[in-house]
Amino acid sequence: MPILWALADPELGEREVLAAMLEVDADIVGERPGFLLVTDKGFASTPFERSLSAQGIGYCGRPARVAVR
């Protein structure tokens, strides 16, 4: 079930918007053990995943698409 959502300026980076959302609503993560973030491949990065882990957030990003021949 979606817990957070936001409308943001398209010129802002997705990760920055998410980081701000999690900062503003930090209690939401703490109140929900097992919080899992499901994203597309645009969020994938080691520093981003480490940041989520440090906040107790699980991460499930869609892998890059592979061409099938």
Beta bridge mates, 60: 38
Euclidean distance between the first and the last CA atom of the chain, given in angstroms as a whole number? 35
Q: Which of 23, 22, 54 is nearest to 39 (CA)?
A: 22
- Alpha-carbon gap, residue 5 to 24, rounded angstroms: 12
For residue 67, pLDDT over 60 is answered with no
Whether the pTM exceeds 0.85: the reply is: no
For residue 65, pLDDT over 60 is answered with no
The residue with tokens 């802002």 is 12
Report pLDDT for 19: 85
For residue range 9-52, list pLDDT tens digits in order.
889 888 888 888 888 887 887 787 888 888 877 777 888 888 88
